[in-house]
Amino acid sequence: MDAIFAQATASGRAGVSIIRLSGHQAFDIASKLCNIPTCGRLALRSIKDPNGDLIDRALVLCFDHGASFTGERVVEFHVHGGLATVSKLLAELSKSDGCRLALPGEFTRRALENGNLDLNQVEALSDLIEAETELQRKQAMQVLDGHFSEAGRIWKEKLLRAVALLEASIDFSDDEIPADLHIEVRSIVEATASSIMAVLERSVMASKIRQGFTVAIIGAPNVGKSTLLNSIAGRDVAITSDIAGTTRDVIEVRIDLNGLPVTFMDTAGLRETDDYIEKLGISMSYKRSEAADVRVFLVDSEEDELLISKEPGDIVVQSKADTRDVSGLAVSGKTGKGVSNLLKLVSKKLSSETMLDVAAIRERQVDGLKAANDCLSKTKVFLTQDPLPYELASQELYFACTQLDFVFGKIDIESILDEIFSSFCLGK
Amino acid sequence: MKHFDVVVVGGGHAGCEAIHAACRYGLRAALVTLDKSKTGSMSCNPAIGGLGKGHLVREIDALDGIMGRAADVSGIQFRLLNRSKGPAVQGPRTQSDRELYLQAVQKILAKENFTEIEGEVTGLLSRDGCIDGVMLSDGTSVHSYTVILTAGTFMRGVIHIGDKRVSAGRMGEAAADHLSNQMEQLGATFGRLKTGTPPRLNGNTINWEVLESQPADDDPVMLSFLSQSPSVKQVSCGITHTNQNTHEIIQENLGKSAMYGGHIAGVGPRYCPSIEDKIIRFPDKQSHQIFLEPEGLTTNSIYPNGISTSLPETLQYQYVRSIVGLQNVEILQPGYAIEYDFMNPMGLTRDLETNLLDGLFLAGQINGTTGYEEAAAQGLVAAIGVAKKIKGVPNIKFDRSSSYIGVMIDDLTSRGASEPYRMFTSRAEFRLKLRADNADQRLTEQGWLSGCVSAVRYRAYSKKMERLVACKLVLSSMSVSPNEARSAGIDLGLDGRRRNGHELLAIPGVSVEHVADLEPSFSKSSKATKKQAACEAVYITYIERQRRDVEALAKDLGVEIPKNFNYSIVSGLSSEMISKLSAARPHSLGAAKNIEGVTPAALTAVLLGLKSLELKKAI
């Protein structure tokens, strides 16, 4: 049986978030991340990932089996509540073999199965379970686009047909089954895989919508980045001064840009330096700019070469438009000239990537879709082999369908048989 | 008055397996049949095995059943279906000489010690909700602790040819009409199913010259693990097709067909449709294939597989003679549809015991299945159930992840049957593991421990396993570099990784010969052993991937629900859910999960109810 984990406290930013891990292997799994304390003692521990990078210094609490909520061994990580820390810990836990995100109500279910709830609680449990499901369901409904389920239904229908075609070739090889069925199977598999991939791509965007986009302002020292940021923010956020190398850290400002939550990040001016602190600031710039959704290069002139190479999609804007006449995109942080144009451009870029269309929001859905697509890729490989390994291709399709099941619901063998028999005249 | 442990009613495929298995278990057994000489008859297509069906036969054989052996002794056209596809979907099959098959079955049965009674069972005897035996039409009673009812198509069987209706269980044989009526008085509810059969043709009047032929395999694969090779001469089948004329004749006369004329209420299968069905459902198809199968070596009767019908005789002549090669054909026996009683198997235990009467078991067509193999497997399962009940023998586990028999039992008992149920490989989600080649590895050991596998078979199996284990050990200890592999003709990427024999055999295109070249001690293994090892290697990664599924399945199946669990005490269940569950009587939470309309919330409520029951018992 798998060990399960989940955030026990409400999601979102908080001072402390509790992540609970339950299972007979919970202590082994947790030991990979930190030195677990003896049971019943809340102790401060450094939680690290396999590379030794620190995830958080947090309070850890262990419960032995028989003495926990679920009845199994339980480890609770009381981490600092930042979204990033929680995500990182959840991600690390999911990497462990035999360890996965809990299904709604699963901790409670385990508690029940291990006889950890007494007779009085048993009476009340049905209600409890109902409530939990409702809550989860409501949550899901809030974020889920109605079209998501429809997409799922269509994929399943298509894959069902693909399976049926392969099964017909297997179970009715003696009947007159057309020899080129695998061509249709292939086209179904390819179409479904692309469609799932598109949704996955949009899902990245969808989660960004929830968490916000980032725009990094990059440029040489003293080109006017901080001034620009202040202008966008409408107040003095960064320290601006005439001395090059003043902004050492990334300064951020989060604004509502036409409905999108966008964080503009100021970065340390890019230049060669021996100053240790400045170096740190610059390396931070590199990191942040790589992760940014849009990069704005603020330059003196359009031909400037910078330490970070430009890529298509980057916005290049000339600075200090108040002191000179330049052609092309230019701004002046001091006077505000051209800033609204720049913001329009940024907004346009983000909007074009933002399709308020079908997307998976929950991590479990994303995992399920990714796993399904892996199976479809394997199926595609089989479909190109000669002789075609029908039973292996069919098996991979079943694995894909099972993954979709986790996301959408069950597929039934009777429906496959219906599909086969309505398509072909079979049987003697 | 002799008191039996078990009475088997009906000497068809289910009945024969049941009675033989009962004897293997040393039970005091009786077989009641309408006509002794017809024991082991094939009602329809004289063939055993196929895709899914062949898997069932192998499993029956692995447990020392008789069908495989009888088929091998009488087999006249052995063909391994899907020979060019992977081992998991290959199905051994043979056409059998009808007469030789029947004789083979009777010969095998003659070696066993049971009482054979010729007569008609007109009713079941019961006492306090338990079965007590059967009543015969001559007024006598046969008492027993258990009854296995395997009446096939005989219960209120009605044959239809056009608008002619004849009460019959099979062409030329009387039906059994009384039993159903009496059972209804005991509370049984029957439905009606139908199946069809094509006309039998005189092979001497067929123009074989103009037809394609399908020969037997050069390298025949037997149905039984114990058989070496065919016993009799092999023949070829002929192949022909219907054509536009054929279709027109049938189209114009559909109203005269018993099925389409509204004479039959019974539901037929989606597959195995009559020629009328085929033409209605697929009007664009220009022609339908027909296999002309010889019914035996000493008969000229041909079974035209693909044109089941219930059209009147004259029309049968018309449309059959419109077919290429059959212009002058003589019909020896017309095709017909037969409808018969069946009982919905939902609610049967996994041993196929009913909730109607304690000790009453049902097997075969009466449970809504179609096919000899499906029936035979059920006969075996019911007999094992009886042996457990009477002698407390160790259980043999039949579940979806370990046998096709398990898949069938689970399908029947969880979902019931609304149309005749036939086995296909696609019904088995663990198809890659449930192969025809490893049925013995999955079942023989359990059969031996339970008591239905003879010492002869067990010895043969043990020897085979010794050889296989030794061979697999050799494969595991191989360590072949890509260069070495290349020297044997295996082209691997130069990834520097060494591979053992199993991994090599799993690569597409790598054969037993390749590996034998690399490892002399492997080549010393017998051909059969090498082949077996190769089969397993191909699928091993898939089976590993599915293993977690099996574990999850076992866990769900593990929560058993007592036979007479009272669902109305479970708080949180709607009355609709209570009646659904009470009717279906799932044996486990896993089975309950498969019932249509059962929600996760209902399952949890049931689980709570079970726990609370346990706790109450403990207090």
Rg over alpha carbons for chain A, rounded to the nearest Å, is 27
Phi-psi region of A358 (alpha: psi -120 to 50; beta: other; left: phi over 0): beta
pLDDT over 80 (residue A268): no
pLDDT over 90 (residue B393): yes
Check residue B189 and give its pLDDT: 92
| B229 and B327 within one domain | yes
pLDDT over 70 (residue A140): no
pLDDT digits (tens, 9 = 90+) for A388-412: 899 999 999 988 988 887 676 554 4
Contacts of B81 in chain A (CB under 8 A): 173-174
Phi and psi at B294, nearest 5°, equal -65, 135
| Residue A171, min C-alpha distance to chain B (Å) | 6
Contacts of B271 in chain A (CB under 8 A): 421, 426-427
Residues of chain A in Cβ contact (below 8 Å) with chain B: 1, 109, 112-113, 115, 119, 122-123, 125-126, 129-130, 133, 167, 170-176, 385, 387, 389-392, 394-395, 398-399, 402, 413-414, 416-418, 420-421, 425-428
pLDDT over 60 (residue B430): yes
pLDDT over 80 (residue A282): no
pLDDT digits (tens, 9 = 90+) for A213-226: 789 888 887 788 88
Q: Do B289 and A176 touch (CB under 8 A)?
A: yes
pLDDT over 60 (residue B485): yes
Of the candidates A198, A306, A127, A237, the residue with the CA atom closest to the CA atom of residue B604:
A127
| B50 and B137 within one domain | yes
Contacts of A103 in chain B (CB under 8 A): none
| Residue B237, min C-alpha distance to chain A (Å) | 13
Interface A–B counts its CB contacts (< 8 A) at 110
Measured CA angle at A382 (ends A379, A388), to 5 deg:
130
| B460 and B429 within one domain | no
Give the C-alpha separation, B408 to A147, whole Å: 38
Which residue, of B413, B429, B448, is where some domain finishes?
Answer: B448
Q: Which of B45, B82, B426 sits opposite A416 (nearest CB)?
A: B426
The SS3 of residue A309 is coil
Residue B552 lies in a domain: no
pTM exceeds 0.95: no
Give the C-alpha separation, A139 to B493, whole Å: 50
Residue B208 lies in a domain: yes
Q: Which of B45, B88, B288 sits opposite A425 (nearest CB)?
A: B288
DSSP code string of B26-90: T--EEEEES-GGGTT---S--EEE-TTHHHHHHHHHHTT-SHHHHHHHHEEEEEEETTTS-GGG-
Q: Are B18 and B32 in contact (CB under 8 A)?
A: no
B493 CB neighbour count, 10 Å cutoff = 7
Give the C-alpha separation, B15 to B19, whole Å: 6
B5 CB neighbour count, 10 Å cutoff = 19
Give residue B530's Cα distance to chain centre. 29
Tell me the pairing of strands B47-49 and A43-48: unpaired
| B461 and B444 within one domain | no
Residue bearing the bigger pLDDT, B138 or A241: B138
What share of chain B in percent tops pLDDT 70?
Answer: 93
| Residue B285, min C-alpha distance to chain A (Å) | 9
pLDDT digits (tens, 9 = 90+) for A60-106: 999 998 888 888 999 999 998 778 889 899 999 998 888 998 876 67
Give the C-alpha separation, B600 to B443, whole Å: 33
pLDDT digits (tens, 9 = 90+) for A181-235: 889 999 999 999 999 998 888 777 656 655 667 898 888 877 888 888 888 877 5
Q: Are A42 and A138 in contact (CB under 8 A)?
A: no
Q: Which of B278, B549, B608 sits opposite A125 (nearest CB)?
A: B608
Helix boundaries (H) for A212-262:
225-233
Give the C-alpha separation, B32 to B154, whole Å: 13
The reply to whether B547 touches chain A by the CB within 8 Å rule is no
Residue B328 lies in a domain: yes
pLDDT over 50 (residue A31): yes
Residue B517 lies in a domain: yes
pLDDT over 60 (residue B394): yes
| B129 and B65 within one domain | yes
Q: Do A389 and B85 touch (CB under 8 A)?
A: yes
Which band of pLDDT confidence, cut at 50, 70 and 90, is reported for residue B560?
A: confident
Which band of pLDDT confidence, cut at 50, 70 and 90, is reported for residue A134?
A: very low
Q: Do B605 and A421 touch (CB under 8 A)?
A: no
Q: Which amino acid is at B127?
A: R
Of the candidates A80, A60, A71, A86, the residue with the CA atom closest to the CA atom of residue A6:
A86
Contacts of B429 in chain A (CB under 8 A): 398, 413
For chain A, first and last CA: distance in Å? 45
Mean pLDDT of B425-431: 88
Which residue has 């020896």 as its token pair? B332
Mean pLDDT of B361-368: 96
Check residue A118 and give its pLDDT: 37
Q: Are B330 and B202 in contact (CB under 8 A)?
A: yes
| B311 and B216 within one domain | yes
Q: Do B604 and A129 touch (CB under 8 A)?
A: yes
Looking at residue B597, which CATH number applies to its domain? 1.10.150.570
Residue B295 lies in a domain: yes
The SS3 of residue B164 is strand
Check residue B548 and give its pLDDT: 66
Q: Which of A112, A171, A398 sits opposite B425 (nearest CB)?
A: A171
| B148 and B42 within one domain | yes
Q: Which of B81, B273, B545 sits opposite A427 (nearest CB)?
A: B273
Q: Which of B551, B572, B615 sits opposite A119 (nearest CB)?
A: B615
The most confident of the ranges A36-40, A273-277, A279-283 is A36-40
B129 CB neighbour count, 10 Å cutoff = 11
Q: Do A428 and B291 touch (CB under 8 A)?
A: yes
| Residue A423, min C-alpha distance to chain B (Å) | 9
The SS3 of residue B251 is helix
Q: What domain range includes position B254?
A: 200-337
Mean pLDDT of B175-202: 92
Which residue, of B309, B337, B365, is where some domain finishes?
Answer: B337
Mean pLDDT of A370-395: 92
Query: Using N-to-C axis directions, what is the helix angle for B67-74 and B13-24, rounded to 10°?
Result: 120
pLDDT over 80 (residue B598): no
Give the C-alpha separation, A67 to B306, whole Å: 66
Residue B99 lies in a domain: yes
| Residue A69, min C-alpha distance to chain B (Å) | 17
| Residue B618, min C-alpha distance to chain A (Å) | 13
Chain B nearest-CA residue for A396: B542
Residue B31 lies in a domain: yes
Mean pLDDT of A8-19: 80
Q: Do B85 and A119 touch (CB under 8 A)?
A: no
The SS3 of residue B507 is coil
What is the 3 state secondary structure string of B314-360? HHHHHHHHCCCCCCCCCEEECCEEEEEEECCCCCCCCCCECCCCECE
Chain B nearest-CA residue for A134: B601
Contacts of A109 in chain B (CB under 8 A): 604
Lowest mean pLDDT among A118-122, B143-147, B582-586: A118-122
pLDDT over 80 (residue A259): no
Which band of pLDDT confidence, cut at 50, 70 and 90, is reported for residue A122?
A: very low
Q: Are B32 and B121 in contact (CB under 8 A)?
A: yes
Q: Are B338 and B197 in contact (CB under 8 A)?
A: yes
| Residue A400, min C-alpha distance to chain B (Å) | 13
Give the C-alpha separation, A122 to A106, whole Å: 16
Query: Which of B82, B90, B271, B589 would you mutate first to test chain A, the one with the most A CBs within 10 A?
Result: B271
Residue bearing the bigger pLDDT, B46 or B596: B46
pLDDT digits (tens, 9 = 90+) for B495-517: 778 888 888 888 877 888 888 88
Chain A nearest-CA residue for B428: A413
Give the C-alpha separation, A124 to A166, whole Å: 48
DSSP code string of B213-224: EEPPPSS---SS
Residue bearing the bigger pLDDT, A305 or B369: B369
The reply to whether B542 touches chain A by the CB within 8 Å rule is yes
Chain A nearest-CA residue for B52: A171
Torsion of CA B492, B496, B501, B504, to 10 degrees: -20
Measured CA angle at B141 (ends B8, B148), to 5 deg:
15
Q: Are B265 and B349 in contact (CB under 8 A)?
A: no
Residue bearing the bigger pLDDT, A175 or B306: B306
Task: Give residues 556 to 585 of B whose Cβ lies within 8 Å of A.
Answer: 571-572
Tell me the pairing of strands B121-127 and A294-299: unpaired
Query: Which of A126, A171, A394 would you mutate first to test chain B, the one with the most B CBs within 10 A?
Result: A171
Give the C-alpha separation, A191 to A185, whole Å: 10
| Residue B271, min C-alpha distance to chain A (Å) | 5
Which residue has 């619901």 as its token pair? A409
Mean pLDDT of A146-167: 83
Q: Are B115 and B32 in contact (CB under 8 A)?
A: no
Q: Are B389 and B381 in contact (CB under 8 A)?
A: no
Lowest mean pLDDT among A140-149, A256-265, A299-308, B159-168: A140-149
B234 CB neighbour count, 10 Å cutoff = 18
| Helices H / strands E in chain B, number of each | 20, 20
Check residue B185 and give its pLDDT: 92
Check residue B190 and give its pLDDT: 93
A7-13 long-range CB contacts below 8 Å, 24 or more apart?
A7/A86, A7/A90, A8/A76, A9/A81, A11/A86, A12/A83, A13/A81, A13/A82, A13/A83
In the numeric block, which tokens belong to residue B458?
Answer: 């067990």
Which band of pLDDT confidence, cut at 50, 70 and 90, is reported for residue B350?
A: very high
Which band of pLDDT confidence, cut at 50, 70 and 90, is reported for residue A135?
A: very low
Give the C-alpha separation, A172 to B150, whole Å: 29
Q: Which of B270, B508, B545 sits opposite A385 (nearest CB)?
A: B508
Q: Do A123 and B571 touch (CB under 8 A)?
A: yes
Q: Do B426 and A129 touch (CB under 8 A)?
A: no
Residue bearing the bigger pLDDT, B283 or A361: B283
| B160 and B142 within one domain | yes
Give the ipTM of the model, two decimals please: 0.77
Looking at residue B503, which CATH number applies to its domain? 1.10.10.1800
Looking at residue B11, which CATH number applies to its domain? 3.50.50.60
Q: Do B86 and A391 touch (CB under 8 A)?
A: yes
Q: Do B272 and A428 touch (CB under 8 A)?
A: yes
The SS3 of residue B273 is coil
Contacts of B608 in chain A (CB under 8 A): 112, 122, 125-126
The reply to whether B599 touches chain A by the CB within 8 Å rule is no
The reply to whether B421 touches chain A by the CB within 8 Å rule is no
Residue B52 lies in a domain: yes
Q: Do A126 and B572 touch (CB under 8 A)?
A: yes
pLDDT digits (tens, 9 = 90+) for B78-134: 999 999 888 899 999 999 999 999 999 999 999 999 999 999 999 999 999 999 999
Which residue, of B310, B337, B364, is where some domain finishes?
Answer: B337
Contacts of B595 in chain A (CB under 8 A): none
Give the C-alpha separation, A132 to A105, whole Å: 7
Q: Are B504 and B515 in contact (CB under 8 A)?
A: yes
pLDDT over 90 (residue A9): no
Contacts of A115 in chain B (CB under 8 A): 611, 615
pLDDT digits (tens, 9 = 90+) for B249-280: 998 998 888 877 777 777 776 666 788 888 88
Query: Using N-to-C axis directions, what is the helix angle for B98-110 and B13-24, rounded to 10°?
Result: 20
pLDDT over 90 (residue B167): yes
Q: Do B427 and A413 touch (CB under 8 A)?
A: yes
pLDDT over 50 (residue A335): yes
Give the C-alpha separation, B518 to B136, whole Å: 68
Of the candidates A112, A125, A119, A130, the residue with the CA atom closest to the CA atom of residue B613:
A119
Looking at residue B272, which CATH number applies to its domain? 2.40.30.260
| B47 and B164 within one domain | yes
Kindly give, in sequence order, each residue whose CB lies less than 8 Å from that of residue B330, ignoring residues fewer than 6 positions away: B201, B202, B204, B205
Tally of domains within chain B: 4
In the numeric block, which tokens belong to residue B557?
Answer: 């199946």
| Residue A284, min C-alpha distance to chain B (Å) | 39
Lowest mean pLDDT among A121-125, A363-367, B40-44: A121-125
Give the CA count within 13 Å in the CB-facing half-sphere of B178. 12
Kindly give, in sequence order, each residue whose CB lies less than 8 Å from that of residue B292, ignoring residues fewer than 6 positions away: B201, B203, B206, B211, B237, B238, B239, B240, B302, B303, B304, B305, B325
Q: Which amino acid is at A371?
A: A
| Residue A396, min C-alpha distance to chain B (Å) | 9
| B323 and B397 within one domain | no
Mean pLDDT of B208-212: 94
Contacts of B88 in chain A (CB under 8 A): 391
Give the C-alpha separation, B298 to B16, whole Å: 25
Query: Which of A119, A122, A391 would you mutate first to test chain B, the one with the most B CBs within 10 A?
Result: A391
| B483 and B354 within one domain | no
Lowest mean pLDDT among A7-16, B91-100, B294-303: A7-16
| B470 and B444 within one domain | no
Lowest mean pLDDT among A237-241, B162-166, B205-209, B541-545: A237-241
Tell me the pairing of strands B360-362 and B141-149: parallel
